Amino acid sequence: MKILAFAGSNSSRSINRKLVIHTLSYFEEEKVTLLDLNDFEMPLFSVDRERNDGYPHKAHQLLELIAACDLMIVSLAEHNNSYTTAFKNVMDWCSRINGKFFQNKPMLLMSISPGGFGGGNVMNSAKAYFPKCSANILDTFSLPSFNQNFEENEGIIHPEIKADFIAKIKALREGLKK
């Protein structure tokens, strides 16, 4: 199985990237491509730029990576109750090339935040919007209170949240085998 994984953040200290890396530890035997959103930085989308310059090569590259994967693992950062500007810009460019840019790929959609809502606003936005872009969201996971519930060397440390997370990963793996 080929997994494409990334955090919807361009922060060098992204807690969402930490969650993605932790999640990938449960898929060690799979072929994994871990993206850094910084490697897909593009000009700010505008219809004028699209008309004058066409589409950035990096948007085409990302669409090719999505096409080649069997599973996407995405963890979204929340800025002002929504997607980060960097991630929204990537989605804007990709959606102009292919409105169904998630290409019906199975997806584990996650969010994490230092606050108690676990990125719930961006998660709710993504659950409503991503299927319109042909995302096949198999499951979701939100981790609230990052500083209390996650340690870099151990991952999720809250017993109930960790048990829920592991159950979701197990169910996801079993579902993909069918």
95: phi then psi, degrees, rounded to nearest 5: -70, -25
53: phi then psi, degrees, rounded to nearest 5: -115, -10
Q: Please tell me the predicted confidence (pLDDT) of residue 22.
A: 98
Structural contact between residues 59 and 69, judged by C-beta atoms closer than 8 angstroms: no
Q: How far apart are the first and last CA of the chain?
A: 13
Q: Please tell me the predicted confidence (pLDDT) of residue 177.
A: 79
Structural contact between residues 143 and 149, judged by C-beta atoms closer than 8 angstroms: yes
Closest CA relative to residue 96, chosen from 43, 35, 37, 36:
43
User: Which CA distances in Å does 30 have to 4, 7, 64, 70?
Assistant: 10, 19, 19, 10
Tokens found for residue 97:
């090339």
Q: Please tell me the predicted confidence (pLDDT) of residue 134.
A: 98
- Domains and their CATH numbers in the chain: 2-177 (3.40.50.360)
Structural contact between residues 77 and 122, judged by C-beta atoms closer than 8 angstroms: yes
3-state helix, strand, coil in the chain (%, to 5): 50, 20, 30
Closest CA relative to residue 32, chosen from 40, 23, 22, 24:
24
Q: In whole angstroms, what is the distance from residue 21 CA to residue 134 CA? A: 25
Residue 132: count other Cβ atoms within 10 Å of its Cβ.
Answer: 11
Q: In whole angstroms, what is the distance from residue 144 CA to residue 34 CA? A: 23
Q: Please tell me the predicted confidence (pLDDT) of residue 178.
A: 72
In order along its 178 residues, the chain shows pLDDT tens digits of 999 999 999 999 999 999 999 999 999 999 999 999 999 999 999 999 999 999 999 999 999 999 999 999 999 999 999 999 999 999 999 999 999 999 999 999 999 999 999 999 999 999 999 999 999 999 999 999 999 999 999 999 999 999 999 999 999 999 887 7
